[in-house]
């Protein structure tokens, strides 16, 4: 027993096993093998390393956005002249998603008082008093009641097309300790005083003309200025940190959101973008307000970024997985060799070695063993003659 255990341990530690290989000289198998290996190599080099950058590790971004809109508008309504500046048409003030007013509607309201309105217009606080003969009810509301069915056409602030929006974006990749701003190399105070964003000439200028933003989002300014709308601005950072840091620069994209004001009338539902706000004041000891309904352009600014840099760990992982995939060529060739080619039985005998244990040999009849012995002797004699 001890000798058997010692022999087993000796065989385990001091012997090496290697798989049996068969060299098959067959043009068809050779071509199939090389084609599969070439496809695997193309996948590893082209897709894993070049396209997916499998030799690099990735890091996400943390960013902040500040905006500033500039421009002055002038209106004359019923003989009343008014100047509109940033404090009048930007809501809320200087945030990452400003709403620019292009169609303000002013309505001075008196103090709240009791009014009688039609029963079909009861969107006010009811007092419980109604007159069936006249079809009216008493409500408590600001006087006069707002009438918002008529939208001025053309819009009052068409001059807002020439307003400018300055976007300041700061971004950091904590994993690589990299800090960047959209005020990249070459953008200084002198340049900012004269540049306006242009896809071809000034693609890194952070100052945008409102009319250009609307156009790049595939909207017509005259239409969106009348009923309002929402535009998404995407600032995209795709940085390869194996290159000099100056090549880490933003790209700007513009997308029209929600429904377009150019849709068919039958398809329109809650088109555009609008909201109301009020300015309160005291006059003769009585509280009054000016109600303003704004049809504006809402700008939603989104920042997305990803940085990549060489890392030995993902590189070795990609190489290891690629080497493993090369085994596909062997599997494919074995399937063709053992199941498709005409001489598949011959190749099976070459590839696999069949053995019979002593117990299985003793189970054969003696006549079968003698016949097998004669065949072996005959074959040996023929080979020797």
Q: What is the pLDDT of residue 20?
A: 67
Residue 224 confidence (pLDDT) above 80: yes
Q: How many CB atoms are located within 10 Å of the residue 97 CB?
A: 15
State yes or no: pLDDT of 120 exceeds 70. no
Structure tokens at 201: 């000439």
- The Cα–Cα gap between 46 and 251 comes to 25
Q: Is the pLDDT of residue 151 over 60?
A: yes
Q: What's the average model confidence in pLDDT over 221-233?
A: 85
The reported pLDDT for the residue numbered 111 is 52
Annotated binding site: which residue ranges? 68-70, 164, 274-276, 293
pLDDT given for residue 90 in this prediction = 81
- Residue 103 confidence (pLDDT) above 90: no
The pair of three-digit structure tokens given for residue 95, joined into one six-digit string: 């945030």
Distance CA 317, CA 49 (A): 11
- Binding-site residues for ATP, please? 68-70, 164, 274-276, 293
Task: Assess whether pLDDT exceeds 90 at residue 166.
Answer: yes
CA-wise closest residue to 121 among 144, 98, 154: 144
Q: What's the confidence (pLDDT) of residue 297?
A: 85
Instruction: Give the burial string for 78-88 (b: 16+ CB within 10 Å, else e).
Output: eeeeeebebeb
Chain segment 324-354, per-residue pLDDT in tens: 888 888 888 888 878 877 877 777 777 766 6
With cut-offs at 50, 70 and 90, classify the pLDDT of residue 144. confident
Higher pLDDT, 265 or 85: 85
Query: Would the pTM of this model clear 0.85, i.e. be above it?
Result: no
Least confident of 40-49, 121-130, 189-198, 260-269: 260-269
Three-class DSSP category at 246: helix
Judge contact between 74 and 162, C-beta under 8 A: no
- B/e letters for 126-160, b = 16+ CB within 10 Å, e = fewer, are eeeeeeeeeebbbbebbeeeeeeeeeeeebbbbeb
The larger pLDDT score, comparing residue 213 to residue 114, is at 213
- Alpha-carbon radius of gyration of the chain: 41
**Whole-number pLDDT of residue 212:** 93
pLDDT of res. 278: 83
User: Pairing mode, if any, of strands 286-310 and 229-240?
Assistant: parallel
Q: Yes or no: say if 337 and 349 are a contact pair by the CB < 8 Å rule.
A: no
Following DSSP, what letter does each residue of 90-147 receive, concatenated?
Answer: EESTT-SS-EEEEEEEEEEE--EEEEEEETT---SEEEEEEETTTTEEEEEEESSPP-
Residue 250 has pLDDT above 50, yes or no: yes
């Amino acid at each position: 027993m001890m000798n058997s255990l010692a022999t087993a341990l000796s065989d385990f530690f001091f012997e090496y096993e290697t798989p049996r290989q068969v060299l098959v000289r067959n043009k068809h198998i050779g071509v199939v093998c090389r084609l599969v290996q070439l496809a695997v190599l193309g996948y590893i080099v082209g897709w894993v390393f070049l396209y997916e950058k499998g030799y690099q590790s990735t890091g996400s971004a943390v960013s902040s956005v500040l905006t500033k809109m500039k421009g002055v508008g002038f209106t004359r309504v019923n003989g009343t002249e008014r100047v509109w500046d940033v404090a009048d048409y930007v809501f809320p003030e200087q945030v990452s998603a400003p709403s620019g007013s292009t169609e303000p509607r002013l309505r001075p309201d008196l103090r709240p008082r009791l009014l009688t309105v039609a029963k079909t217009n009861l969107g006010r606080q009811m007092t419980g008093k109604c007159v069936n003969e006249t079809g009216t009810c008493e409500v408590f509301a600001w006087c006069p009641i707002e009438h918002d069915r008529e939208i001025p056409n053309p819009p009052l602030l068409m001059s807002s097309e020439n307003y400018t929006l300055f976007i300041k974006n700061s971004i950091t990749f904590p994993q690589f300790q990299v800090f960047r701003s959209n005020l990249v190399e070459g953008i200084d105070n002198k340049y900012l005083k004269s540049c306006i964003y242009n896809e071809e000439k000034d693609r890194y200028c952070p100052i945008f003309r409102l009319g250009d933003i609307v156009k790049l989002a595939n909207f017509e300014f005259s239409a969106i200025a009348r009923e309002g709308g929402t535009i998404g601005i995407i600032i995209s950072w795709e940085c390869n940190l194996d290159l000099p840091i100056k090549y880490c620069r933003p790209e700007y994209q513009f997308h029209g959101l929600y429904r377009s004001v150019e849709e068919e009338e039958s398809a329109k539902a809650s088109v555009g973008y609008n909201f109301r706000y009020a300015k309160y004041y005291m006059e003769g000891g009585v509280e009054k307000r000016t109600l303003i309904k704004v049809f504006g352009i809402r700008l939603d600014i989104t920042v997305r970024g990803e940085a990549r840099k060489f890392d030995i760990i993902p590189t070795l992982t990609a190489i290891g997985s690629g080497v493993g995939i090369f085994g596909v060529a062997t599997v494919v060739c074995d399937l063709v060799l053992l199941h498709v080619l005409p001489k598949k039985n011959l190749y099976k005998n070459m590839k696999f070695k069949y053995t019979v244990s002593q117990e299985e040999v003793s189970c054969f009849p003696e006549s079968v063993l003698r016949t097998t012995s004669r065949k072996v002797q005959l074959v040996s004699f023929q080979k020797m003659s």
